[in-house]
């Protein structure tokens, strides 16, 4: 089996640092709203027969006045894919099912319908190959052009220094990926999505890791500003109903199509951490 590598440790340390900074910023927003809500952290350990070093992670969860439910999870796990699942993973196979994975996953469902929900995830995986993947997308029940433009501008600023075509390519990938085929609607107003940025050598790792860090910084610089802009907006019962129905679509996507949900369930992840993306309340008309 793969052992923890220097690169895995570097990526894990960054994801944990990013988690701490994001959680501190979200708690600061709660204080500004007059709330004392804080994140509760629950560690978990992965179990796998015959594996004495399977890893685990920490689930961070907060329920407050602004953030009705927000989860920020970091996990670092190590083991073997089930044979049938291995064939679907880049660099893995039935003959070589070993993997190591580390990443951060964030989903925020907001109390005010005028504040967009959001998702952000970045990760580093090693099989017979190693690569980065991730992205972030905005999911407003009531879209505002100003918020959409700011979020996309931040993602573009993260992309441009690393590849002239990155933003357009990864924006299109997000539009294609965050789509609900059975409803023929997008999950939100998009963002970026990337995967399989392979690290064939140290230079490749450094370049792709720098891009992944830029995505995390772009999220941290843009989303809290959008929250602060909208969190005191007045809203109606009709606005709340609209939000609940959009949450239902979000839940449908994550349970039916989301790769991260499937990966977590197929690799023995913590069920509560995997399903923390689901909203605390939703509605179907």
Query: Can you tell me which residue has the tokens 């109606």?
Result: 236
Question: In the chain, what is the greatest distance between 2 CA atoms, to the nearest angstrom?
Answer: 58
Three-state DSSP state, 172: helix
Helix ranges restricted to H, the chain: 6-32, 83-86, 145-159, 166-177, 202-230, 237-256, 259-266, 271-274
H or E element in which residue 165 lies: none
What is the bridge-based pairing of β-strands 179-180 and 117-126? Answer: unpaired
CB atoms near residue 231 (< 10 Å) = 19
Whether the CB-CB separation of 85 and 266 falls below 8 Å is answered with: yes
Give catalytic residue positions: 119
């Amino acid at each position: 089996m793969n052992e923890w590598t220097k690169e895995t440790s570097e990526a894990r340390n960054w994801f944990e640092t990013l988690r701490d900074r994001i959680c501190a910023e979200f708690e600061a927003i709660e204080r500004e709203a007059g709330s004392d809500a804080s994140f509760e952290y629950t560690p978990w350990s992965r179990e796998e027969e015959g594996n004495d070093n399977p890893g685990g992670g920490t689930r961070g969860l907060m329920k407050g006045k602004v953030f009705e439910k927000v989860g920020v999870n970091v996990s670092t796990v190590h083991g073997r894919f089930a044979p049938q699942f291995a064939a679907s993973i880049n660099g893995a196979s039935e003959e070589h099912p070993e993997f190591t994975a580390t990443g951060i996953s964030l989903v925020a469902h907001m109390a005010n319908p005028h504040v967009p929900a959001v998702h952000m995830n970045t990760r580093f995986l090693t099989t017979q190959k190693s690569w980065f993947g991730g992205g972030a997308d905005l999911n407003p029940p009531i879209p505002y052009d100003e918020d959409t433009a700011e979020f996309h501008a931040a993602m573009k600023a993260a992309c441009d220094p690393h590849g002239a075509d990155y933003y357009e390519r990864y924006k299109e990938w997000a539009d294609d990926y965050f789509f609900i085929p059975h409803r023929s609607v997008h999950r939100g107003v998009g963002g970026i999505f990337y995967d399989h940025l392979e690290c064939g050598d140290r230079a490749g790792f450094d370049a792709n890791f720098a891009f992944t860090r830029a995505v995390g910084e772009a999220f941290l610089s843009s989303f809290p500003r959008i929250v602060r802009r909208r969190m005191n907006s007045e809203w109606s019962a009709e606005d709340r109903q609209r939000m609940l129905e959009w949450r239902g679509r979000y839940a449908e996507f994550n349970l039916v199509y989301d790769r991260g949900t499937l990966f977590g369930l197929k690799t023995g992840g913590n069920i509560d951490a995997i399903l923390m993306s689901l909203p605390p309340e939703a509605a179907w008309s």
